[in-house]
Structure 1
């Protein structure tokens, strides 16, 4: 039986980093460099951005895992949980707009039905909210010139 912690809720590359360097290191990388291509050198000495970001020990583990004894490599670093949640919310919103049921959306997106109801209510409120400036005339009485 594998006693290693599971990080299945993370994108695959971040889960792999979490396995070799710890969850905190993976999340810190996603937070600071997520959505970009990073270069992982064979070694990350003190002062290197990787060592400064995740600490010397985690940086050493990441470098060793991804480069072995060879040269460095480039990785497309995912955005992590925040980015993933934003994608899920966009999918939920799209399915709401398509008229899908709460249950169907919850099952397709890994969301709760309550969460879907809350997003649907928020979307309805945004559609029914009036224009803040609709009743204000372009020129106020008594003014002869505009400020433009």
Structure 2
């Protein structure tokens, strides 16, 4: 009988059935909200192995590896997934952290990891900041004319 992970978001629950709750929560805490690539096989120095260990990484890679038939050979490919968020704290605190990181020049992925928000949310925050700042610059230019 498998564990019941219905209290988790669907993708997290799916991952937990493969690698267990502890490794799933560790992965979410470190990479939640980020789009990550799960290879068909990860070498020993891969970030996944360093994050959740060899056994959990092997299980995750095997589970997500897409097997494509073609030319009489079977090729193994990985897959990109967006991990559900881990425990990120308050939403407003996370947004403030994201803005601070973006202002310091962080990439989308760095801002997502540092704030606990999805990369797509970071993209939206960055676009809104650019629009607001462009509008403020235009307003200042009009006042000084």
Q: Distance in 2 between matches of 1:47 and 1:32?
A: 17
Report 1:1-148 matches (<5 A). 3-69=1-67, 70-80=76-86, 82-83=87-88, 86=90
More helix by share: 2
CA contact (8 A) 2:32 2:83 kept: yes
Higher radius of gyration, 1 or 2: 1
More strand by share: 2
CA contact (8 A) 1:17 1:25 kept: no
Question: CA offsets per residue over residues 1-36 of structure 1, 9 Å max, x none?
Answer: xx1001111111111111011111110110000011
Using structure 2 for the length normalisation, give the TM-score: 0.54
Partner of 2:133: none
Using structure 1 for the length normalisation, give the TM-score: 0.52
Q: Which has the higher contact order (CA 8 A, sep 6+)?
A: 2
Which consecutive residues of structure 2, in runs of 5 or more, have no partner in the other structure?
A: 68-75, 92-145
SS at match of 1:29: helix
Q: Distance in 2 between matches of 1:30 and 1:36?
A: 9
Which consecutive residues of structure 1, in runs of 5 or more, have no partner in the other structure?
A: 88-148
Q: Distance in 2 between matches of 1:68 and 1:45?
A: 18
What is the RMSD of the two structures over their aligned residues, measured on CA atoms?
Answer: 1.5
Q: Distance in 1 between matches of 2:10 and 2:78?
A: 20
The size of the alignment, in residue pairs, is: 83
Q: Distance in 2 between matches of 1:68 and 1:15?
A: 20
CA contact (8 A) 1:44 1:60 kept: yes
